[in-house]
Amino acid sequence: MRRREFITLLGGAAAAWPIAARAQQPAKLPTVGFLGTTTASAWEPWTAAFVRRLHELGWTEGRNLAIKYRWAEGRSERFPEIATEFARLKVNVIVTAGVASVIAATQATSGIPIVFALANNPVGSGLVASLARPGGNVTGLSTQLTDIVGKRLELMRELVPGLRRWVIMANVGFPDAVLELGEVQATAKTLGLELAVLEIRRADDIAPSFEGLKSHADALYVCSDPLMIANRIRIKSLALDARLPTMHSYREFVEAGGLISYGPNVPDLFRRSADFVDKILRGTKAGDIPVEQPTRFDFIINLKTAKALGLTIPESFLARADEVIE
């Protein structure tokens, strides 16, 4: 082969390399934008349940699915920022939990499907038109707030003899917590209980709110939200110092030293939210997927905390618990 022909052939091959390389690049994987309201460590059991279920449904991260995790670390002001990022990235579906984060996502996009793993009263909050026919681009799993609040108050009344005066701690800047607060107030009124409200807006409000509670309350009800979850150890310590039995929504509070929690099994809700994602990635519109409700509930007691408070828990009460932490 002449030198000129060789150079021409080499130049042609070199020009073809970028085309061949582009042809071999994999197509963009379907992408889930996962908006976590607190921290990765706090949500780890929930995230793990979600990912395991996706795998069971045929979705493997890195092979045929990408998941972009973003963590708000208990700061609700970060929800719009994260949601806007997901809209800019054009993810295929956004997964989150709680009314505030869903609202932030709907304000960032009307086209990307949004799945909430849990939300208080999604119809009343305006997230969906109805449970059976959500409409729009939002669907997910609703917590049965009305039934749950009544059960929580009854459990604590049974455990603390003569309980009359409740204190409710709520982040009044968080929509889910405000909904729960209203439900607690309405239910407590029907039960003839006296109520006081500790209004929290930031972490620095928590410690001062406990001042003077020892002689003015028999128990503390903590409305759950990312701020409370992020500060659950601080709340536990302050409640113990004030000699207050505490009622919570999620087991994470009791694992941190709270007394009792009663509520939906959150890992199960996140597991079931993966089914919504699967349907959406396979072509079903979010608004055509009915909102579902919890089927599993957890009743958790921290026996060590009960002893520290001087409470004797009857064996019959312990026997009804799904788990006793000692």
Query: Residue 120 has which token pair?
Result: 């208080």
The residue whose two tokens read 């000699």 is 243
Instruction: Say if CB 138 and CB 114 are below 8 A apart.
Output: yes
Q: How far is it, in rounded angstroms, from Cα 307 to Cα 240?
A: 11
Instruction: Say if CB 326 and CB 305 are below 8 A apart.
Output: no
Helical pair 99-108 and 175-190, crossing angle rounded to 10 deg: 140
Instruction: Say if CB 206 and CB 231 are below 8 A apart.
Output: yes
Is it true that 31-144+265-296 and 145-264+298-325 share their CATH fold?
yes
Report the pLDDT value the prediction gives residue 6, as an integer from 0 to 100.
43
Q: Is the domain defined by 31-144+265-296 classed in CATH 3.40.50.2300?
A: yes
Q: Domains of the chain: which residue ranges?
A: 31-144+265-296, 145-264+298-325
Q: How far is it, in rounded angstroms, from Cα 95 to Cα 274?
A: 9
3-class DSSP string for the chain: CCHHHHHHHHHHHHHHHHHHHHHHCCCCCCEEEEEECCCHHHHHHHHHHHHHHHHHCCCCECCCEEEEEEECCCCHHHHHHHHHHHHHHCCCEEEECCHHHHHHHHHHCCCCCEEEEEEECCCCCCCCCCCCCCCCCEEEEEECHHHHHHHHHHHHHHHCCCCCEEEEEEECCCHHHHHHHHHHHHHHHHCCCEEEEEEECCHHHHHHHCCCCCCCCCEEEECCCHHHHHCHHHHHHHHHHCCCCEEECCHHHHHCCCCEEEEECHHHHHHHHHHHHHHHHCCCCHHHCCCECCCCEEEEEEHHHHHHCCCCCCHHHHHCCCEEEC
User: Which residues does 246 contact at the CB level (< 8 Å), separation at least 6?
Assistant: 219, 220, 221, 222, 235, 236, 239, 253, 258, 259, 260
How much is the pTM? 0.82
Looking at domain 145-264+298-325, its CATH superfamily turns out to be: Response regulator (3.40.50.2300)
Q: How many CA atoms lie within 13 A of 30 on its CB side?
A: 19
Instruction: Say if CB 97 and CB 119 are below 8 A apart.
Output: yes
Report the pLDDT value the prediction gives residue 265, as an integer from 0 to 100.
93
Report the pLDDT value the prediction gives residue 21, as an integer from 0 to 100.
40
Report the pLDDT value the prediction gives residue 22, as an integer from 0 to 100.
41
Burial class (CB in 10 A: 0-12, 13-18, 19+), 252: buried
Q: How far is it, in rounded angstroms, from Cα 15 to Cα 302?
A: 69
Quickly count: other Cβ atoms within 10 Å of residue 188's Cβ.
18
Report the pLDDT value the prediction gives residue 18, as an integer from 0 to 100.
44
Q: How far is it, in rounded angstroms, from Cα 109 to Cα 137?
A: 9
pLDDT by 10s per residue, the chain, length 326 = 444 444 444 444 444 444 444 444 457 899 999 999 999 998 999 999 999 999 999 999 999 999 999 999 988 899 999 999 999 999 999 999 999 999 999 999 999 999 999 998 899 889 999 999 999 999 999 987 777 899 999 999 999 888 889 999 999 988 888 989 999 999 999 888 899 999 999 999 999 998 867 667 899 999 988 899 889 999 999 999 999 999 999 888 999 999 999 999 999 999 999 999 999 999 999 999 999 999 999 999 999 999 999 999 999 999 999 999 98
